Chain A
Amino acid sequence: MTAVRPDEAVGTATATLVTGRTGRRAVRIRGTRPGFWVYAGLAVVLFASLFPLYFSFLIGSGDASTLRDPDKSWIPGGNFIQNATAVMSQPAVNFWPALWNSIWSSTVIAVSVVVFSTLAGWAFAKLRFRGGPALLAFVVATMAVPQQLAVVPLYVLFAEIGWTGQIGAIIIPGLTSAFGVFWMTQYLRQTVPDELIEAARVDGASMIRTFWTVGVTAARPAAAMLFLFTFVTAWNNFFWPFIVLDRQNPTLPVALALLQSNYFVDYSIVLAGVVLATLPLLLLFVFAGKQLVSGIMAGAVKG
């Protein structure tokens, strides 16, 4: 389906040969536009991305019988507001506290990860010190450790200090990220030339001042991306919050899970809740999706 037609490939090559330019930029600018099938394929991707969200809205705007109705219409019904209100007012779910908990816990986690990662990343990337490379290798190695390996002692720990059910119990373990340190180290190593640091030092800048004027300035784009990725990951995180939080004080994913955990489930209300809980991140995606795309392409990130 996606094999390139030979004539196209030749077209691309001749275009370059004619211009006599070399390098990838020339080809990319002068290359021929691909045929219809590429757009058709991409349209399928777009459809696959959007359909489940539309389906969620479709069922969420119907009533309890819509999901099981074999002849359901593909046009949304008129009950979305009503279903959404039902979600918000359900005492078993605590929608508004969940939304607020998700917002502030994800923000605190993302800010903290960015700050600590930038500091440590700067040291690993640009300062030489005994044990530095070994410590960095160790941090990177811990990225392979599954979350499951930490949850039992963390639960024991938070039960000990009476924090089960508190949002603090999900913020504290999220404050640092091995991935964040790795990410900032890679970025700073590639972008900051050593001469710049030396120049700052010659001018008499202290280490912290060098970090602040050279490091933080250079780190800004990477820090913004790290913030976004950490925020999305923290917002969507489910396993640990589900263990340690309860229905009195959930985050959005935990609240969503509770919506479905009844014997009688009205899917129009569940999926209206899904739409409500997904909207904030969809909004974020509209504004910051471009940054997310370039973040993934710049650093081959895996949240």
Chain B
Amino acid sequence: MTATDATTHGEGRSSAPPSGPQAAPSASPSGAPAPRPVRVLSFSQRLSRWDLRLSPYLYISPFFILFAIVGLFPIAYTAVISFMDWDQIRRSGEFIGFDQYVWILTQPKFWIALRNTFSIFLLSSVPQLILAMFIAVMLDKHIRAKTFWRMSALLPYVVAPVAVGLIFNAMFADQSGVVNGWLGFFGIGPIPWHVEPFWSHVAIASMVNYRWTGYNALILLAAMQAIPRDYYEAATVDGAGTWRQFWSITLPSLKPTLIFVIITSTIGGLQIFDEPRMFDQFGRGGAGQQWLTITLYLYDIGWGEWNFGRAAAMAWILFLIILAIGLVNLIVTRSLVRDEGARGMRPSRAERRAALRAQKKEVAR
């Protein structure tokens, strides 16, 4: 073990940190692990040793110092403020326990916002994932001008959500909007996009889908291309049809990627603000809170009513919701998408661990 320690730099070996004389420069082909009496080192040797020891911390410190100030401190301080009745004019507050949380949870508006957020989230993530899968399958074909088509799918990603919101708000205009025009062509009556909660959610979800479907399609495409083509050949020889191949080879192999895409879209989707904010010129979620989302409500409490204690409590509630949904997602996705196809390719974590242990035993002997 000790012989390999000095030459491997990967993670996962934290159990054996460099200590004492073993922390010799990684350059030395340290064949002798026996602790020798430490010789008197020359100045430059000592310098080099300090260089080796301190450099990692030196390299990560700029990031961590800044990160602590602008990333970690605010998170902790949000928790503090959420237990306070904060007065922004005096920039101080007094502790009132869980009152702000209780206040929020007893607001009917909060529950409406929660319903709207989930509704928009589901309407955006589920069709988006299915569409992205279709697009990825098409892009995975042996097409001409690959890069062009890939770029065409990604183009909406660079358009700002605010801009998308403004454009779609106009496209989904209740009277003589272009979308209602198309629907009218098929004999579907004008839909009150800005009146009915459900239809406003559809319109807002379509903004999210516009921006992210192609992006997720490219992620799925990358994962599809990593599947060895021999699998498909073997399946074809065995007489498996296309649909069967997709179901038994493609989908199981995509599982880790799917989990990643679902988790990240959960984190982003539940925070939605820009698109509903732009859905009318007032930006307060509609006259009857039809499309009021949690973050819109948070903004309104914080910078409309200037009640920072409540806004902070709201932020924590949102975070807890995201964590909970992320976990549920993980469990559901794990059990829904079967694992058999992938297992042949890549051993499960438990299996890999077992293999590693067996190897170590082998080495120890």
Selected interface stretch from B157-165, B333-341, B352-360: B157-165
Does chain B have a CB within 8 A of A145? yes
Given contacts A49-B156, A68-B176, contact A201 B27 (CB under 8 A): yes
Chain B residues closer than 8 Å to A290, beta-carbon distance: 147, 151
B232 A13 Cβ-Cβ under 8 A = yes
Give the number of residues in A that approach B within 8 Å (Cβ atoms). 130
Given contacts A42-B139, A128-B17, contact A284 B158 (CB under 8 A): yes
Contact with B along A181-212 (1 / 0, CB 8 A): 10000000100001001100110001110010
Chain A residues closer than 8 Å to B273, beta-carbon distance: 238-239
How many B residues are at the interface, by size bracket? 35 or more
Does chain A have a CB within 8 A of B143? yes
CB B49 to nearest CB in A, in angstroms, measures: 11
- How far apart sit A84 and B60, CA to CA, in the bound complex (Å)? 46
A46 B160 Cβ-Cβ under 8 A = no
Within 8 A of B (CB), among A1-52: 1-6, 9-10, 12-13, 16-17, 22-24, 27-28, 31-34, 38-39, 41-42, 45-46, 48-50, 52
- How far apart sit A243 and B295, CA to CA, in the bound complex (Å)? 12
- Closest partner residue, chain A, to B62 (CB atom): A116
Does chain B have a CB within 8 A of A230? no
B151 A289 Cβ-Cβ under 8 A = yes
Selected interface stretch from B107-115, B120-128, B308-316, B343-351: B308-316
Chain B residues closer than 8 Å to A3, beta-carbon distance: 242-243
Contact with B along A115-140 (1 / 0, CB 8 A): 01101101111111111111110010
A267 B243 Cβ-Cβ under 8 A = no
CB A137 to nearest CB in B, in angstroms, measures: 9
CB B202 to nearest CB in A, in angstroms, measures: 16
B281 A178 Cβ-Cβ under 8 A = no
Given contacts A34-B142, A42-B143, contact A235 B71 (CB under 8 A): no
Chain B residues closer than 8 Å to A159, beta-carbon distance: 88, 91
Selected interface stretch from B32-40, B130-138, B192-200: B130-138
Chain B residues closer than 8 Å to A252, beta-carbon distance: 160
B318 A148 Cβ-Cβ under 8 A = yes
CB A34 to nearest CB in B, in angstroms, measures: 4
CB B149 to nearest CB in A, in angstroms, measures: 5
- How far apart sit A153 and B73, CA to CA, in the bound complex (Å)? 8
Within 8 Å by CB of B210, from A4, A6, A52, lies A52
- Closest partner residue, chain A, to B294 (CB atom): A148
- How far apart sit A52 and B178, CA to CA, in the bound complex (Å)? 11
Contact with B along A146-182 (1 / 0, CB 8 A): 1111111111110110000000000011011010010
Does chain A have a CB within 8 A of B96? no
Within 8 Å by CB of B26, from A156, A197, A208, lies A197
Chain A residues closer than 8 Å to B8, beta-carbon distance: 194
Contact with B along A278-303 (1 / 0, CB 8 A): 10011011000110110011101110
- How far apart sit A117 and B210, CA to CA, in the bound complex (Å)? 30
- How far apart sit A159 and B89, CA to CA, in the bound complex (Å)? 10
CB A26 to nearest CB in B, in angstroms, measures: 8
Chain A residues closer than 8 Å to B167, beta-carbon distance: 52-53, 55-56, 271, 274
A262 B281 Cβ-Cβ under 8 A = yes
Does chain A have a CB within 8 A of B267? yes
Within 8 A of A (CB), among B260-289: 260-261, 263-265, 267-268, 270-271, 273-274, 277-278, 281-283
Given contacts A149-B75, A293-B154, contact A53 B159 (CB under 8 A): yes
- How far apart sit A203 and B59, CA to CA, in the bound complex (Å)? 22
A120 B137 Cβ-Cβ under 8 A = no
Selected interface stretch from A75-83, A88-96, A217-225, A253-261: A253-261
- How far apart sit A281 and B10, CA to CA, in the bound complex (Å)? 38
Within 8 Å by CB of B144, from A33, A122, A261, A292, lies A33
Chain A residues closer than 8 Å to B228, beta-carbon distance: 23-24
Given contacts A49-B214, A152-B302, A257-B162, contact A119 B170 (CB under 8 A): no
- How far apart sit A119 and B62, CA to CA, in the bound complex (Å)? 9
Does chain A have a CB within 8 A of B168? yes
Chain B residues closer than 8 Å to A261, beta-carbon distance: 281-283
| Residue of B60, B161, B245 with most chain A CB atoms under a 10 A cut-off | B60
CB A224 to nearest CB in B, in angstroms, measures: 16
B219 A296 Cβ-Cβ under 8 A = yes
A232 B158 Cβ-Cβ under 8 A = yes
- How far apart sit A87 and B43, CA to CA, in the bound complex (Å)? 66
- How far apart sit A149 and B73, CA to CA, in the bound complex (Å)? 11
- How far apart sit A143 and B13, CA to CA, in the bound complex (Å)? 24
Chain B residues closer than 8 Å to A142, beta-carbon distance: 71-72
- Closest partner residue, chain A, to B176 (CB atom): A70
CB A121 to nearest CB in B, in angstroms, measures: 9
Within 8 Å by CB of A123, from B14, B60, B169, lies B60
Does chain A have a CB within 8 A of B208? no
Chain B residues closer than 8 Å to A27, beta-carbon distance: 229, 233
By Cβ-Cβ distance, the 8 closest A-B pairs, closest first, are A201-B27, A150-B74, A129-B56, A153-B77, A207-B55, A297-B222, A4-B242, A123-B59
Q: List 21 A-B contacts (CB under 8 A).
A: A2-B134, A9-B236, A13-B237, A23-B230, A45-B149, A52-B167, A55-B178, A119-B60, A128-B17, A130-B14, A148-B298, A153-B74, A154-B74, A156-B77, A175-B66, A238-B162, A253-B161, A260-B166, A265-B281, A290-B151, A293-B150
Other 4 A-B pairs with CB < 8 A, given A34-B143, A149-B319? A24-B225, A49-B155, A143-B267, A293-B151
